[in-house]
Structure 1
Amino acid sequence: MNSSTLSRSPRTYSPVNALYAHAEQLQAHSLSDLLGCDSSSAQQRASALAFTFGSLHLDVSKQRITPHTLKLLIDWAHSCGVKEKRQALFSGQKVNISERREALHMAARWPKHKTPPKGMEAAATFCQQQQLRLAGMVSRVHEGRWFGATGQAITDVVHIGVGGSDLGPKLISEALADRPSHEKVRVHYVSTMDGAQLLPLMERLNPATTLLVLASKSFTTADTQFNVRTALAWLSEALEIDISTICHHQLVGVSSKPEKMTAFGIPEAHQLVFKDWIGGRFSLWSPIGVSVAMQLGMEQFNALLAGAHAMDQHFLDAPLEENLPTLLALVGAWNCQFLNIPTHAVLPYDGRLKSLSAYLQQLEMESNGKSVGLDGRSVNHATCPIMWGDVGPNAQHAFYQLLHQGGHTVSADFVAVAKRDVVATDEVSRALCAQEQLTLANCLAQSQLFALGDDAIPVSLRGHMAQGYRGNHPNSLLLLQELNPWSIGALLALYEHKVFVQSVLWNLNPFDQPGVELGKQLATSLYEMLAGETLAHNNVKDPSTEQLLCKINEWRQ
């Protein structure tokens, strides 16, 4: 771009306009051109676009950016006030404007021995008090001192939640419980409102030794309420004990509404509370994570919090040019807003991270999937891309064909784990080591093929295999040294802060979710009609829905 285009006159220069102009110029250059294979400039570019924080490494050299792109993006971040709004977030200002609340989920992982930022002190103290209560409950279960209604010690925990009260804890449970020796107690997750996850548990768990954890910020979510009532009915019927007694012995409540937990029949000693300034999709670190702690132990849970806090500190202190959450956010915004790439795939190359894409779908799309800014005006471009994905090795045998040779352009995050320690015999260890190497090789190969397309085909194979690999799919690679509580805590906090930075760039409130409410209200009215309680007079009538209701009623009779 010439100097006249980038004139920094206060009257004419705009970081956003400069980025649009720069994006138009970059359209003439493929990722193959930018990577440049063996050239020294390509080597310098690759080195300049790789960043390491602790045991987490971020490589964005396969993105359609140059160091100059990064400079323009950093200018944009400064012009939007990312540094100032980052400080406001950590100091407890009411950054959730529509709900007039702070957003202090970072307080839930702030260490007791470390002074929090001014404005976060009371929040951190409250969270630390709840962590002590949580630790006490965990100890009771692990030491065999928590008894069910018939006097038998708890062996299984059924965690009942949905959305943020389910996705985060479930992800951590799957990621860190790769060997049975890690588990202190068995934990099972129930979220679907149709009972499909609950029914098999009712068939195989011992009702006398099962503890229910009801995790619900509002304590009114229909999905969770229906599941817990069914579970309580099962325990009551199986044990021949009234539900109020079951609640007293075999139910833990986690909510921001202690008065509703009490009214439900949960004793105060079995209640864990978090404040409404922790949003549901940011609540893993709060007492919502109690089931993770019961499964893995407090040492593992505290290490998870420590990894997230380390990323908090990095986000708060590091200059934007070296700040991993800011860089990930800027690259994502560049792809979505300036390169007009509508979807983003999350592709973990480790089966333990099978729920990562679902977790990030909620985190990103519920936070920034909005078209009205903080000023009440419509945003005239896409904000959040459509997030999707699967475990990489499985995806290679499913939708990669379309990505490689179809007509769609996507961006992607590849997530890989460099090493994995397994206690096994020498022969099994060697076999597993070979599998890990194959998995990493596939991850690197697919990332390369996404970027280079046909240019990734070695000269020796050209003419001997099909061509038509599109390439030009920009992708980042996030490499974890190993998958442990610290590293996954840091990884998820990285994405949380990415979401916040993008909300600043797009002038959005990432901490509310008004778009989910109307569907729930319509469903309530239709449920009452299906249950024969009322007519669906609160719903807009349309012939399609009416004929479906008729067919459902016909088949249910």
Structure 2
Amino acid sequence: MNVSKLSRSPRAYTPVTALDAHAEQLQAQPLSDLLGGDTLSAQQRASDLAFTFGSLHVDFSKQRITPHTLKLLSDWARSCGVETKRTALFAGKNVNTSERRAALHMAARWPSTKKPPSGMESAATFCQQQQARLAEMVARVHEGQWFGATGQTITDVVHIGVGGSDLGPKLISEALADRPSHEKASVHYVSTMDGAQLLPLMERLNPATTLLVLASKSFTTADTQFNVRTALAWLSEALEIDVPTVCRYQLVGVSSKPEKMTDFGIPEAHQLVFKDWIGGRFSLWSPIGVSVAMQLGMEAFNALLAGAHAMDQHFLDAPLEENLPALMALVGAWNCQFLNIPTHAVLPYDGRLKSFSAYLQQLEMESNGKSVGLDGRSVNHATCPIIWGDVGPNAQHAFYQLLHQGGHTVSADFVAVAKRDVTATDDVSSSLCAQEQLTLANCLAQSQLFALGDDAIPATLRGHMAQGYRGNHPNSLLLLKELNAWGIGALLALYEHKVFVQSVLWNLNPFDQPGVELGKQLATSLYEMLAGETLAHNNVKDPSTEQLLCKINEWRQ
């Protein structure tokens, strides 16, 4: 038979091919068409894409999706085994395959009054025992019964950590201790390895009443070790007491390595322990949060855990179509993998959440910023967008110009707080209320403008102002009824489980971070060279670095 043209066989149907085809259709449709004004279908779509969980409301209606998109995405999630792997996560299976261990940060917030899932029992019991020790330490500080090496009562806490041992506690401290009247003790955070955060504290805090909290999962992180040694040297010199004595009275250790804390000179009574099945960036809920509890009190800390646990239970029980962490993950994967949007902006419209984007940068990019799957094969698409952002009202005066009229497409999460209770005079309360309304109005307006672009310009203003607003930036709006401990606990747990679901979709291990190790090793060798101890034998020769070393040594001498 003479065949002049070979027919191409159709691509086999899979959830991914269905999503690819669906993405092509929606790419050609502007978001303004999907939002559709006041039509009944647009109103129904908006209603179908909004979800409320307790005091948290999430609106996906400005995403480039339809209810059918969510169905296709849910089918994809099921085909990837999200439900089975979710069960395995809570059952303490070795979901962290490279390190051969579980990932049971949920056990740190599991209430003692409730039976944990099978496989989590011993983990929950251990965490509850450590919480009791934490509560005893917090009570000593709040009751004025913790005395420093010279017998004076502790008044200030310096929390020394980095990464997950710093970002989570610092975020909560900023979000919930917005007024001094809310604080039980003054807490200060130190993370940068250059000492820039530590030096001002050494100048203004009373060394006799300062307690150091050394938070380090491995107890070997160079940034943290150098900061604590400098802080101990300060206390020792100022108090004229040797370092071992200072350690006995004014140092608390939080780590998964109790033997290293003991070797360092921290008494067992001042040690808090969490297990290696709690990853650093998931460790806020563990004793890593002791400084938060010292600052805000156990009632607030327990409410934080309760909000996170409520989200755990929702994630474990709710069907995918109604499951907020799953929906957040699926919409995020849709934007990144199928719509090819490379960056994701986090834009909180509340100054108390100024560290939220930094927290999510570590949580998401350190977890899923990988290109090799669990099967050892390369992943042929982006597995995590670049996370970035700032407090929304400030960002409006910085990079929104590029987002609105530049050539880049981004996706975004807007985060807003509906109300804020403040005890003040009538005039001050009225003024603050107006500020809150202005902030909320800006958040809603920017979310609308991100989606609609020029179509957001009212008819009465057309021709009277510049156009060229790009639009078509898909975005979600997360609305908290108020910024309290329960609500932010639920919010952070929502993002944690989002990361896990996306790791299943992309066949990744979100609980390791091998990509950060080589840079640390190279730095160790270069540090020795800068200190004049050795030649950098373990470093690859490169003339750029060599000439920089020469210039640094020239200027340091």
TM-score (normalizing by structure 2):
0.98
Question: Identity over aligned residues, as a percent?
Answer: 90
Residue 419 of structure 1 aligns to a residue whose secondary structure is coil
String of CA shifts for 1:129-185, please: whole Å, max 9, x gaps. 000000000000000000000000000000000000000000000000011111000
String of CA shifts for 1:87-140, please: whole Å, max 9, x gaps. 000000000000000000000000000000000000000000000000000000
* Corresponding residue for residue 170 of structure 1: 170
In structure 2, distance between residues paired with 1:359 and 1:166? 9
Work out the number of aligned pairs and report it. 548
Query: Does 2:76 correspond to 1:76?
Result: yes
Equivalent residues in 2 for 1:140-539 (5 A)? 140-539=140-539
In structure 1, distance between residues paired with 2:50 and 2:232? 52
- TM-superposed CA distance for 1:285, in Å, is 0.1
In structure 1, distance between residues paired with 2:84 and 2:537? 49
Query: Does 2:135 correspond to 1:135?
Result: yes
Equivalent residues in 2 for 1:118-133 (5 A)? 118-133=118-133
Which residue identity does 1:284 align to in structure 2?
L
String of CA shifts for 1:251-291, please: whole Å, max 9, x gaps. 00000000000000000000000000000000000000000
- TM-superposed CA distance for 1:489, in Å, is 0.1
Residue 70 of structure 2 aligns to a residue whose secondary structure is helix
- TM-superposed CA distance for 1:425, in Å, is 0.5
In structure 1, distance between residues paired with 2:149 and 2:423? 38
Residue 388 of structure 1 aligns to a residue whose secondary structure is strand
String of CA shifts for 1:488-541, please: whole Å, max 9, x gaps. 000000000000000000000000000000000000000000000000011001
* Corresponding residue for residue 114 of structure 1: 114
* Corresponding residue for residue 19 of structure 1: 19
String of CA shifts for 1:389-429, please: whole Å, max 9, x gaps. 00000000000000000000000000000000001011100
String of CA shifts for 1:208-233, please: whole Å, max 9, x gaps. 00000000000000000000000000
* Corresponding residue for residue 30 of structure 2: 30
- TM-superposed CA distance for 1:27, in Å, is 1.2
Equivalent residues in 2 for 1:62-101 (5 A)? 62-101=62-101
- TM-superposed CA distance for 1:38, in Å, is 1.1
Which residue identity does 1:217 align to in structure 2?
K
String of CA shifts for 1:325-366, please: whole Å, max 9, x gaps. 000000000000000000000000000000000000000000
CA RMSD of aligned residues (A): 0.8
- TM-superposed CA distance for 1:28, in Å, is 1.1
* Corresponding residue for residue 6 of structure 2: none
In structure 2, distance between residues paired with 1:78 and 1:551? 57
* Corresponding residue for residue 57 of structure 2: 57
In structure 1, distance between residues paired with 2:270 and 2:107? 22
Residue 412 of structure 1 aligns to a residue whose secondary structure is strand
* Corresponding residue for residue 7 of structure 1: none
In structure 2, distance between residues paired with 1:471 and 1:322? 28
In structure 2, distance between residues paired with 1:13 and 1:471? 32
In structure 2, distance between residues paired with 1:119 and 1:105? 13
In structure 1, distance between residues paired with 2:357 and 2:96? 25
* Corresponding residue for residue 553 of structure 1: 553
In structure 2, distance between residues paired with 1:541 and 1:216? 33
In structure 1, distance between residues paired with 2:99 and 2:225? 24
In structure 1, distance between residues paired with 2:174 and 2:39? 42
TM-score (normalizing by structure 1):
0.98
In structure 1, distance between residues paired with 2:197 and 2:28? 51
In structure 2, distance between residues paired with 1:28 and 1:209? 64
* Corresponding residue for residue 39 of structure 1: 39
String of CA shifts for 1:178-209, please: whole Å, max 9, x gaps. 11111000000000000000000000000000
Residue 52 of structure 1 aligns to a residue whose secondary structure is strand
- TM-superposed CA distance for 1:324, in Å, is 0.2
Which residue identity does 2:484 align to in structure 1?
N
Structure 2 residue runs without a partner (length 5+): 1-10
* Corresponding residue for residue 105 of structure 1: 105
In structure 1, distance between residues paired with 2:27 and 2:156? 56
In structure 2, distance between residues paired with 1:202 and 1:541? 39
Residue 189 of structure 1 aligns to a residue whose secondary structure is strand
- TM-superposed CA distance for 1:12, in Å, is 3.3
* Corresponding residue for residue 3 of structure 2: none
In structure 1, distance between residues paired with 2:33 and 2:552? 57
- TM-superposed CA distance for 1:458, in Å, is 0.3
In structure 1, distance between residues paired with 2:330 and 2:482? 26
In structure 2, distance between residues paired with 1:91 and 1:313? 13
